[in-house]
Structure 1
Amino acid sequence: MTTLTVTAKGQITLRKDLLRHLGVHPGSKIAIEKLPDGRIEVRAEEPRGAISAVFGALKREGQAPISIEDMNEAISRGWAGEL
């Protein structure tokens, strides 16, 4: 068990071995959950990627990008039962 000291400002510092155990590094976020019995749960916050990370996720290798016009035409043909 690790014992930490609370500063006059009400802060604590987690030692490097604890941070390594959590898998966090400078700039990472840590989530704290208050439990009903006076304990807390500390865990690494799951990183959230940028929305741009999904761009191209459905693209097949060697496939050229599809224009908005081509998409609209395919949608129209689909609704018309032509596909």
Structure 2
Amino acid sequence: MSEPTTISSKGQVTVPRDVRERLGLQAGDKIAWSMLSNGTIVLRPKTRRLVDLVGMLTQPGQPGVSVDEMRLPE
């Protein structure tokens, strides 16, 4: 578990290194905060890199489609 962090006068916090590493966060990445009904706070990375999106639109058993196959005929 990470050490407690301090909120700055501007409302900023530093995400502890072990949390950044575990979530794969880098400088400039965005995160989303959600509060559950029991008061638990959930922090989720919102920045996606192109490589993270590979395969998201395929379904099991569905053949892949190349970029050329996606292009409309002219």
Which category describes the TM-score, using the shorter chain as reference length? 0.5 to 0.7
**TM-score, structure 1 normalization:** 0.51
Query: How far, CA to CA, are the matches of 2:17 and 2:38 in structure 1?
Result: 27
Give how far 1:58 is off: 4.8
Over aligned residue pairs, what C-alpha RMSD do you find? 2.6
Partners of 1:4 and 1:46 lie apart in 2 by 23
Tell me: higher relative CO, structure 1 or 2? Use CA pairs within 8 A at least 6 residues apart: 2
What does the per-residue CA deviation read over 1:2-46, in whole Å, with 9 as the maximum and x for residues that have no partner?
A: 211112222211122211111111122112111112221012115
Aligned to 1:33: 34
Letter in 2 for 1:57: V
Q: List, as ranges, runs of 4+ consecutive aligned residues in structure 1 with deviation greater than 6 Å.
A: none
Note the residue ranges of structure 1 that are not aligned, 5 or more in a row: 50-55, 60-64, 69-83
SS at match of 2:15: coil
Structure with the higher fraction of residues in helix conformation: 1
Q: How many residues of Structure 1 are paired with residues of Structure 2 in the alignment?
A: 57
> CA 1:66–1:33 in 2, change beyond 3 Å: closer, same or farther?
closer
Gaps of 5+ in 2: 51-65
